[in-house]
Structure formats: structure tokens, C-alpha cells
């Protein structure tokens, strides 16, 4: 249950308890919470701070340059560390961070790797359920692997052929399309979930994790069919906060491992993984004439510039340009 927030009462450090509480009050996602705490702990160790009063934004530049010069981190890694430390000093400690100057890590623009349609289908055909359906949703709906694994029954709308992604990257919700070709398989998966849920209820279980204390507000919903995961785990586990025995969803690591094996079995030599299906989804839409704004909404990108990178993948950035050798 790595994507479920652990109780604050389990944290030993008074300062980390304060920081964690502050992050959760601000409504940041749990993955962001873990990332920020990781970098803040590294910053504290690097600077040798002994108390809350010692922490200073003046040391951020030195730490970020250390990451580049000594640790050789990627630009995105340095940017993530910067975001975490600015959040710490500016938001929590109310310090001025506007005058930060440091050496930035640089990299050239990187074009995403994508599968051809034949490659994507070949990889999917090497997968077994439920990883196969997860991969089909990544390719057919543009989902991230963790978004697919966390889907609930209520997120599937067969009538409108849509999928609702809740608490995606940036803690944003969005709707994307559900391929008509997957309706039969999704319906079978829903029926399997229903049978498994009924069995859990008969055995005195059937409750699932609900975010934002919704289980207290709607105590009966935690055992409702609609809140059950579309891809339930094969066994029951103990919730680390409540101590209750629940059925969580399959973990993304399992799907990632299975997809990596399927890529090898399909004899595809590209440096690819689960996220390549999402890149391929966007590229196919562009090739089929879908406008960038629609693709941005389906992918959940906050900035259209992120979506524009796929014009390079699809070759649309030079659409209509003719090589002089072909004249």
C-alpha cells in the first residue's frame, strides 16, 4: 500500500511531523509528499542542521550545485529538489527565496520513444490478465501505470465510453476515452470484481481505502461495490493506518515488470516501458488528426508545451516540408 498515506502519529521526528501535516493540509498528493520529504531530509543532512531554527534558504544554492557537480543529477531531479526546498523555506518557514542563484543542470530537448501500433499490439499480446488490460488502457486511454492500477469501479462509464482519472499528476482529475474495443474485457473485469467483492463481504471483509477521510463521512461506502478497485490485489492486506484488513489494488511494480518482460518477448529493442504506451497514445491521436488542445485534456497536461513535444514524434513539426532531394 505504498500510495496510501501513513498515520502522522507513526512519525518519530517532531519537525517531520509538522512538515507532513503542513503538506497534507495544503492538499498535495501523497507521491509529492514523499518526494518533498525525501529531498528535505537530504538537505538537512547535507547542511548539518540540528534544529528547525537552523534551516536557512541561504544554503539552497550550495545544495543544488552540489547535486549537479558532485552527484551529477539530471535536470529534472535538480528541479524537483528545488521545488521541495522552496516549499520548505518559503511556504512553511516563511523565508525569502526570491534571490536564489545557482548553477542549473542542462539537457537538450528529448523526444519520447513511442511504439508503432504493431509493436504495441505485439507487447500487449504477450501479457496475461490483469496486466494485459492495464496495458490496453495505457495505450488506448493514455493512462499512466499508477492511474490505471488505481481505477475504481465507479470511474468506468461504459455508456459514455469514458474513464475518470482521479487525483492524477498534480492532484488533478480528468476524463479520457475508453476504447469501444475494450468494453467486453472491461465488463468481464467488472464482473470478476463483483464476484470477488461478494466473497470478501461474506467473509466479513470487503472494505477498501477511501481518501480524505471519506470512510468516516460515508461509512457504508467503503464496502460499496462502486468504490472497489478495478484491478484488485490477489490477497487481503492490513491497512497501516486503521489496522483493518482490506483488499488494495495491484501494484504498478508488478505491471512494470510484466511489461518489461513482454517487450523482450516481442523482440523490441527500444528503450521502453509502461510510459511508452502513453506516449504512443498521444502520437497516434496526432497522426489521426486530433488537435493538440484535445490531446492535452486527455493526457491531463497543465501546459500545452508539454503536449507539443509529440508533434516532433509524429513528424508534424515539419508537415508539408519537402526534401530538396525529392524535388
Q: Looking at the annotation, which residues are catalytic?
A: 144, 169, 275, 278, 301, 310
Residues 69, 72, 75, 79: is their CA dihedral positive or negative? negative
- Decide: 132 and 124 in contact? Cβ < 8 Å: yes
No. of helices (H) and no. of strands (E), the chain: 13, 5
CA–CA dist 250, 318 (Å, integer): 42
Give backbone dihedrals phi and psi of 174, rounded to 5 degrees, phi first.
Answer: -160, 165
Closest to 316 measured CA to CA, from 292, 286, 278: 286
Residues 198, 180, 161, 143: is their CA dihedral positive or negative? positive
How many of the other CB atoms lie within 10 Å of CB of 36? 21
Give the max Cα distance, the chain.
Answer: 74
Under DSSP, is residue 14 helix (H, G, I), strand (E, B) or coil? helix
**CB-hemisphere CA count at 13 Å for 199?**
10
Q: Distance of alpha carbon 93 from its chain centroid, rounded?
A: 29
Give, as one character, the DSSP assignment of residue 232: B
Kindly compute the dihedral angle of the four CA atoms of residues 50, 51, 53, 54, in this order, to the nearest 10 degrees. 20
CA–CA dist 164, 148 (Å, integer): 10
Amino acid at each position: 500500500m505504498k500510495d496510501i498515506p501513513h498515520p502522522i502519529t507513526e512519525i518519530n521526528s517532531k519537525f517531520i511531523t509538522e512538515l507532513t501535516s503542513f503538506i497534507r493540509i495544503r492538499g498535495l498528493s501523497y507521491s509529492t509528499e514523499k518526494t518533498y520529504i525525501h529531498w528535505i531530509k537530504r538537505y538537512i543532512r547535507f547542511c548539518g542542521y540540528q534544529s528547525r531554527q537552523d534551516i536557512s534558504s541561504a544554503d539552497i544554492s550550495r545544495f543544488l550545485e552540489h547535486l549537479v557537480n558532485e552527484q551529477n543529477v539530471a535536470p529534472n531531479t535538480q528541479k524537483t529538489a528545488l521545488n521541495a526546498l522552496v516549499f520548505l523555506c518559503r511556504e512553511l518557514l516563511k523565508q525569502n527565496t526570491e534571490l536564489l542563484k545557482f548553477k542549473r543542470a542542462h539537457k537538450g530537448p528529448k523526444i519520447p520513444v513511442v511504439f508503432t501500433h504493431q509493436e504495441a499490439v505485439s507487447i500487449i499480446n504477450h501479457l496475461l490478465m490483469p496486466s494485459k488490460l492495464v496495458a490496453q488502457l495505457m495505450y488506448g486511454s493514455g493512462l499512466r501505470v499508477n492511474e490505471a492500477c488505481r481505477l475504481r469501479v465507479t470511474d468506468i462509464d461504459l455508456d459514455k465510453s469514458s474513464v475518470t482519472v482521479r487525483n492524477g499528476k498534480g492532484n488533478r482529475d480528468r476524463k479520457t476515452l475508453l476504447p469501444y474495443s475494450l468494453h467486453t474485457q472491461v465488463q468481464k473485469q467488472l464482473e470478476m470484481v463483483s464476484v470477488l467483492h461478494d466473497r470478501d463481504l461474506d467473509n466479513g471483509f470487503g472494505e477498501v481505502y477511501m481518501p480524505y477521510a471519506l470512510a468516516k463521512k460515508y461509512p457504508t461506502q467503503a464496502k460499496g461495490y462502486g468504490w472497489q478497485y478495478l484491478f484488485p490485489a490477489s490477497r487481503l492486506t492490513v491497512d497501516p493506518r486503521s489496522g483493518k484488513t482490506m483488499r488494495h489494488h495491484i501494484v504498478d511494480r508488478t505491471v512494470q515488470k510484466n511489461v518489461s518482460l513482454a517487450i523482450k518477448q516481442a523482440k523490441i529493442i527500444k528503450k521502453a516501458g509502461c510510459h511508452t504506451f502513453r506516449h504512443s497514445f498521444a502520437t497516434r491521436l496526432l497522426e489521426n488528426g486530433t488537435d493538440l488542445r484535445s490531446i492535452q485534456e486527455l493526457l491531463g497536461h497543465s501546459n500545452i508545451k508539454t503536449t507539443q513535444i509529440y508533434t516532433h514524434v509524429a513528424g508534424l513539426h515539419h508537415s508539408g516540408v519537402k526534401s530538396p532531394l525529392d524535388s
